[in-house]
Structure 1
Amino acid sequence: MFVKRLLVTALTAVVVGGLGGCSGHRGDDSAPDRPSASVGGAPAPSATPETVTGLRDGTRHLSERTTRATRPRTVRRCTTGTRRVRHTSRSGSGSHRTTRTWYTTERHQDCHRVRSGTERYTKVLRPERWCVRLDDVDGDRKKDDVWYRVTRADYDTTLAADDHARLEFVPQGPQDTGC
């Protein structure tokens, strides 16, 4: 019994020590915590999305494409029933021990989902997309005619801008995907 407690205590100490080493605390309480990637006392830059700049070359709006489809319809069905439950109680001790047994009937309900016909729904084949084509992407004259997916607000701003106007926005995904 003592050996078992000793092993559990040792294992707990190892786990706590391992977790303490992963916490990032350096153990020196006198020095304040500072960001590790600071330059000249400035805080480390946060993870901001990459903006893209370029000259407006074109826009494209791809509307949502849907179709009507059917799928199995499921409903919740419940069955009620009864079951016989055995109960026992013991009293006394030694040779005077007695056991009393009795039975009761308890009601129960089993519920599960079963298929019941079909239902029609609207299936989205292609989500709605707004795309902008840029020239001179990030100042590189060799990068022309690159498509980017953008938000609706950025698309509206692009529509209001003149042709070959300088634009800056955050793309919604990798370039040239789905436009």
Structure 2
Amino acid sequence: MFGRRLIVAAATAVLMAGLGACGGEGGGGGTGGEDPGAVTDVGRSDTGTVRQAAPSPDTVSGLRDSVRHLAKKTTKATRPHLVKKCTSATRRVRHTERTGTGTRRTTRTWYTTERYRTCKKVRSGTETYTRTVRSQRWCVSLDNVDGDTAKDDVWYQVARATYDEARGADEHTRMEFTPTATGC
């Protein structure tokens, strides 16, 4: 009974492997020998004309509307001041020594005092420090984002170089960049 199941399982595996190999060879798979992991239909359309590949989903384009620079915002705050406090202590250490063999074996035991220090951080008042409330941001606002006329005045946080480029450009100049975040 077990041998029959094993034979049926092996035959099924061979049959599936054979069908899988035939499926991708232009017969019914439709890929025409292309890599199954490759991106297909990029640059093709039904009319036979070549389409442009879509830009990266992270890239946005539109008409420059305005720019904004938000400076770093900080405030003074307090936190516990921690100091390192060490204490010295001693402990008794036991030592043993064995000499001889057989019936003449002896064991000598003696004790010594060992000094050690333990350190830990303890709170000792408070300290004042500068806390960052908002990091520095460079922002650009676009109209007609990705060609959609309904998407106007959309703010994006950008790198300093992109901000400088947008600042020097005229209003309603077409720009394309990769934002670091949305909103401002």
TM over 0.5: yes
Distance 1:170 1:105, change over 3 A: same
- Residue among 99, 110, 119 paired with 1:111: 119
Instruction: Identify which range, 89-98 or 114-123, moves more after superposition.
Output: 89-98
Deviation per residue, 1:120-140 (Å, 9 max, x gap): 101111111111111111222
* SS at structure 2 position matched to 1:144: coil
How far does residue 38 in structure 1 lie from its aligned partner after superposition? Answer: 4.1
2:7 aligned residue:
none
2:72 aligned residue:
64
The TM-score normalised by the length of structure 1 is 0.67
* SS at structure 2 position matched to 1:156: helix
- Residue among 94, 102, 105 paired with 2:110: 102
Q: Distance in 2 between matches of 1:142 and 1:53?
A: 14
Distance 1:95 1:70, change over 3 A: same
1:8 aligned residue:
none
**2:162 paired with 1:154:** yes
Q: Distance in 2 between matches of 1:63 and 1:36?
A: 50
2:88 aligned residue:
80
- What is the percentage of aligned positions where both structures have the same residue? 59
1:131 aligned residue:
139
1:28 aligned residue:
none
- For structure 2, the 5+ residue unaligned runs are 1-34, 41-55
* SS at structure 1 position matched to 2:77: strand
> Aligned Cα RMSD in Å?
2.2
1:25 aligned residue:
none
Matched letter for residue 163 of structure 1: E
Q: Distance in 2 between matches of 1:80 and 1:57?
A: 68
Q: Distance in 2 between matches of 1:158 and 1:103?
A: 79
Q: Distance in 2 between matches of 1:155 and 1:139?
A: 21
Q: Distance in 2 between matches of 1:129 and 1:49?
A: 22
Distance 1:137 1:111, change over 3 A: same
- For structure 1, the 5+ residue unaligned runs are 1-34, 41-47
How far does residue 171 in structure 1 lie from its aligned partner after superposition? Answer: 0.5
The TM-score normalised by the length of structure 2 is 0.66
How far does residue 106 in structure 1 lie from its aligned partner after superposition? Answer: 1.3
Q: Which of the two has higher C-alpha Rg?
A: 2
Q: Distance in 2 between matches of 1:87 and 1:80?
A: 22
Deviation per residue, 1:85-119 (Å, 9 max, x gap): 11112234454432210111111111111112211
Q: How does 1:163-174 map to 2 (within 5 A)?
A: 163-173=171-181
1:141 aligned residue:
149
Deviation per residue, 1:20-39 (Å, 9 max, x gap): xxxxxxxxxxxxxxx97446
Q: Judge conservation of contact 1:49–1:170 (CA < 8 Å) in 2.
A: no
